[in-house]
Structure 1
C-alpha cells in the first residue's frame, strides 16, 4: 500500500456483518485511519438510496471496537448512500479520502450493480469526488474473506494514487469464494449480461407479493465464467451520465424562451 489514508468502511448488510469487520481490520492493520459507518440493519438492494424518515432525523449509535482496537464505529438508521454522503460532509469526523464498501457476501455482477447497496455506496462516493471500491465475495460456506482481501490488495495502491483533483476511480471487485491459494489472479472485465443471483417477484395471494433471491446457475458468460475459473474480476464504473447518442425530435432547451439551462456536460 501507499501513503496512509483516512478510509470510510461501509456496507449494505449491516454493522454486525463479519465481512465489514474483516475489511476494517485489514485496513487498520495496514496502517490506515479507519472509520466504520454502516446501516444498523440489513439494507441490501437499496442501490444509491439516501432515503430518510419524515422529518429528516437519522438515528445513529456510536461506539469503538476493541478488535480492531480503537476503530470508531457508527451504526446508522439509513442506507449506505446516505452514510457515504454524511461521512463526506463531516458527520463522522474528517471526511474520508477513500470509500470501501463490503465485504459483501454474494457477487454483484451484470445488471445487479443497479440495485446493489454495496455498489450504490461507491457511486455515491463519486458525487463527493472520492474514489471508492465495492468488494463482493461469491456465496458459500465457509466464506474465504482473506481471498477478497488478497484481491483488494492488488487494486488499492492504484486507487490511493489517484490525485484529489482527478476524476475519482470507482471499481466493482468480485472475488470467487475459494481458498486464497486457489485465486488465479485479478482481471479487468466489463459488466456481464447476467447477475450472479436471480431476483424474482410474484403474486402470493390477495394483497401480497413474494420476493425471492437465489443464486442463478442458468447462465454463464462474462464475469460469471471468469469467477467460476478462479479469477477475481474488476470493472471500472461511472455514475449515470447523459446518453448523447440518442436522437430526439425536440427543440433544444437553450432555444426555448425563458428556459434556465446550464452549460451542457
Structure 2
C-alpha cells in the first residue's frame, strides 16, 4: 500500500492562530500532517534563527488527538529545522506555511516569517509553499482561500517544483464569488517608506514605534500587487539563490588591482 504524502505545517502567527487551523483543514485531507509552529507570534522575523538561547519544544493537541503537533519557542525557521531534523521520522514531501494574517506580496517577502519558513524547507530540498491573506484581522475569513489552497497543494504534490524554488501565494481579501482565479506573477517593485513615531512612556522614557507607508512603484500588470488589486490569487515563484547573476559581468570588468 502506497503511503500518503507527509506534509509539514508551520506558520509565523503562532500555533493558536486561526490561519494555521484553516490551512490544516485543507491539507490534512491530502496527506499525513505534522504541525511544528511557534508558541507565540513571530511575524516579521524573516529568516532569523535561535543561536544564543535555548529552544523548547512541547507536544500539544490544539487540533485534536489525530493531529501530531508541536509548539516551539523559536522562530518559524527554527520550527522547520526542528521538524525536519528532530521531530519527524522521515523527510516531508511538502512544507506549507500560513495562512498568514496579512499580505506577504512584493518586498514583504523579505521580512516574512511565513515565507522564510517555506524558504528554509526549500533549502532542505522540500517543496514548499507560503500562503497569506490580505487581512490582518484575527477574525479573517479564510474560507474563500481553501479551494485554491487545495488546488495548488495538489499540483505541487503531483508535479514538484523547479529546483531552488518555493511558492509565495497571496489571496485577496474578497468573498469567494469575487475572486477571479490564479495569476502567476513576478514580485512587484515596491518598498516601505518608513518612519519612527517617537513617544513618551508613562514613566517619562522615550521609545519608538515603527510606522510606514507602502509605496508601489510598479505599474506592470504581471505583478503580485496588480493581481491582488484586480481580484486574483497571486503566485510568485521565489528563489533562495540571492546571487545577482546579471551583475557578475559588470563586476568582472572592474579593475581591483592596486595602482
Q: TM-score, normalised by structure 2?
A: 0.82
Which residue does the alignment assign to 1:51? Answer: 50
1:11 equivalent to 2:11? Answer: yes
Are residues 241 and 220 of structure 1, via their aligned partners in 2, closer, same or farther at CA, if it must alter by over 3 Å? closer
Structure 2 matches for 1:52-71, cutoff 5 A? 52-54=51-53, 57-67=54-64, 69-71=65-67
C-alpha distance in structure 2 between counterparts of 1:244 and 1:159, whole Å: 27
Which residue does the alignment assign to 2:158? Answer: 161
Instruction: Give the match's secondary structure for 2:129.
Output: strand
**How many residues of Structure 1 are paired with residues of Structure 2 in the alignment?**
243
Bigger strand fraction = 2
C-alpha distance in structure 2 between counterparts of 1:139 and 1:31, whole Å: 26
CA RMSD, 1 decimal: 2.8
The structural deviation recorded for 1:95 is 2.8
Q: Which ranges of structure 2 fall in alignment gaps of 5 or more residues?
A: none
Instruction: Give the match's secondary structure for 1:144.
Output: coil
1:69-114 residue CA offsets vs partner (Å, 9 max, x unmatched): 5101111001111111121214244331111000011111111101
Given that residues 6 and 33 in structure 2 are in contact (C-alpha distance below 8 angstroms), is that contact kept between their aligned partners in structure 1? yes
Structure 2 matches for 1:67-216, cutoff 5 A? 67=64, 69-139=65-135, 143-162=140-159, 167=163, 169-194=165-190, 200-204=195-199, 208-212=207-211, 216=214
Are residues 217 and 12 of structure 1, via their aligned partners in 2, closer, same or farther at CA, if it must alter by over 3 Å? same
Given that residues 200 and 211 in structure 1 are in contact (C-alpha distance below 8 angstroms), is that contact kept between their aligned partners in structure 2? yes
Q: Which ranges of structure 1 fall in alignment gaps of 5 or more residues?
A: 253-265
C-alpha distance in structure 1 between counterparts of 2:228 and 2:56, whole Å: 38
Q: TM-score, normalised by structure 1?
A: 0.81
The structural deviation recorded for 1:25 is 1.8
Given that residues 189 and 216 in structure 2 are in contact (C-alpha distance below 8 angstroms), is that contact kept between their aligned partners in structure 1? no
Are residues 202 and 181 of structure 1, via their aligned partners in 2, closer, same or farther at CA, if it must alter by over 3 Å? same
The structural deviation recorded for 1:10 is 0.5
Given that residues 119 and 134 in structure 1 are in contact (C-alpha distance below 8 angstroms), is that contact kept between their aligned partners in structure 2? yes
The structural deviation recorded for 1:52 is 3.8
